[in-house]
Amino acid sequence: MEYDVIGIGNAIVDVLARADDAFLIAHALEKGAMTLVEEARSAELYRAMPPGIEMSGGSAANTMAGIASLGGRGAYIGKVRDDQLGDVFRHDIRAAGVDFVTAPLAAGAATARSLIFVTPDAQRTMQTYLGASVELAPHDVPEPLIAAGQITYLEGYLWDRPLAKAAFLRAAELAHAAGRKVALTLSDPFCVQRHRASFLDLVADHVDVLFANEAEITSLYETEDFDRALTRARDCCETLALTRSERGSVVVAGGATRAVAAAPVERVVDTTGAGDLYAAGFLYGLTHGRDLVACGRLGGLCAAEVISHVGARPQAPLAELAAAAGA
């Protein structure tokens, strides 16, 4: 097959700056969450933001960059505007080794931007203006591309807008029609809250591989008990990867459930992209015939790299890190 994974998501440029908790409180920001904001609020927060760095982001795009860094073959579908930040996004994902052919918007909203405030505890708080990314439409999902990938990987964030949601469902249907697998990340506990009923249907009917962290999976099943959520999820998806920060992950496939320890990290600098890169490692393993525990370890290793520096995409070649770790 031509591709290991086809990723579909909101194409976003991140603007990262350090901030303290007092800043989050002063601006009424929900710590640790991804909050959607309108253009005016984004501009207002940007004015208040300390000096930043711009880096390509977007959850599924970060995952695809990770898969490419591991040596996997990937393509990405997402919408930017034909503006400077759109050029940056396109350049970076292609330079990472991921095919990206979605036509940019020629008019309308600017390329999506996420203002990311990183607090001294390495936690990230995201304020996202979706801009052009929400114009991703069903016609942006080419049937031959989806058919050419072992797994189509979708981010839950797409569910936030109707057009992108339609594109999401088309991709899932095309993948299954071609005999391929569909993977989903629940993205964010607030995203799960916004779309719980749809996500429950989606997970039950369309998803083969599910990624979620503890907050997301317990929110989905409206329980505070992780094990209860795990049991529920196990009935719905053939493959599950549930991340638990420094406690590693719990992975499920073919009736087996395994706990995988987290990879060691010298110093956690910025947790932006941790879940995205876990998914990268796991999906690379899954599409390269690795066993379940090896997939979870590879996920943990990639997450450990990305949280050891500022920014949500890998800075070291992950294939070398994986080889050095014997993964």
Choosing from 49, 164, 263, 322, the residue that interacts with a second copy (CB under 8 A) is 49
| 30-33 LR contacts (CB < 8 Å, sep 24+) | 30/125, 30/190, 31/119, 31/123, 31/125, 32/123, 32/124, 32/125, 33/125, 33/126, 33/188, 33/189, 33/190
Considering the complex, what minimum distance in angstroms separates the CB of residue 83 from a second copy? Answer: 6
Among 8, 37, 96, 118, binds a second copy (CB under 8 A): 96
**Is the C-alpha dihedral spanning 182, 185, 191, 194 positive or negative?**
positive
Q: Which stretch in 2-10, 79-87, 117-125, 134-142 sits in contact with a second copy by CB under 8 A? A: 79-87
Would you count residue 52 as binding a second copy (CB under 8 A)?
yes
Number of residues that bind a second copy (CB under 8 A): 25
> Which positions from 103 through 142 interact with a second copy, judged by CB under 8 A?
110
- Binding segment toward a second copy, per CB under 8 A, in 89-97, 131-139, 145-153, 200-208: 89-97
Q: How far is the CB of 20 from a second copy (least distance, A)?
A: 12
CB of 23 to a second copy, least distance (A): 12
- DSSP letters, 218-252, are HHHTT-S-HHHHHHHHHHH-SEEEEE-GGG-EEEE
Task: Answer yes or no whether residue 95 interacts with a second copy by CB under 8 A.
Answer: yes
Coil vs helix vs strand at 32: coil
Please select the residue that binds a second copy; options are 24, 33, 45, 88, rule is CB under 8 A: 88
Radius of gyration of the chain (CA): 18
The residue from 34, 134, 311, 312 that contacts a second copy (CB under 8 A) is 311
Question: Binding of a second copy at residue 313 (CB under 8 A)?
Answer: yes
Q: Which residue intervals of the chain are DSSP H helices? A: 21-26, 39-48, 59-69, 84-95, 143-147, 162-177, 189-194, 196-205, 214-220, 226-236, 274-286, 292-306, 318-324
Residues making contact with a second copy (CB under 8 A) = 18, 46-47, 49-56, 65, 83-85, 88, 91-93, 95-96, 110, 311, 313, 315
